[in-house]
Amino acid sequence: VNDNPSQYKITLSGTLKSPKLNFDPPFLIMMPVPLGVETEADINIIPQDYLRQSQIHVELPQIELEDGDRICPFSVQFPGGQDVVLSSDGKNNQLSCHISFRSSKPVSVLGNMCFIDEEEN
């Protein structure tokens, strides 16, 4: 600085956290219903450590029936949108998710819904 040939060394360190999603409730049990009747539930998705906007997508399980047919009796909607947004205080806003189930054939399911972002986290 000011034509002084002294050397300056700066050391930087940091920690990068991987983005993740938490769920409230952490698991979901849907009530048994008669054939063709819809059952539904709402969950909150709580994004953490997202540094930029991202969009959440869902992979729904397909079920193979006794006759070999495959169905996807689940549907998912995001009433407030699917975008993970960073708020002005640096936190990620939570997302509301509406899950419904309807089947015209008898089925019992224990499975996973995979919620992923644009970078497949």
* pLDDT tens sequence across 24-61: 999 888 889 999 999 999 999 999 888 888 899 999 99
Q: Which of 74, 44, 41 is closest to 60 using CA atoms?
A: 74
Contact, 62 vs 103, CB < 8 A? no
- Burial class of residue 68 in the structure, from the number of CB atoms within 10 Å of its CB (0-12 exposed, 13-18 middle, 19+ buried): exposed
Q: What angle do CA 33, 115, 67 make, to 5 degrees?
A: 45
Range of the structural domain that residue 25 is part of: 20-117
Residue 42 lies in a domain: yes
pLDDT grade, residue 23 (50/70/90)?
Answer: very high
3 domain residue, yes or no: no
Q: Is residue 4 part of a domain?
A: no
Please report whether residue 12 resides in a domain: no
Cα R_g (the chain), whole angstroms: 22
Does the pLDDT value for residue 82 go beyond 90? yes
Q: 3-state DSSP: the chain helix, strand, coil percent, rounded to 5?
A: 0, 35, 65
The share of the chain scoring above pLDDT 90, in percent, equals 48
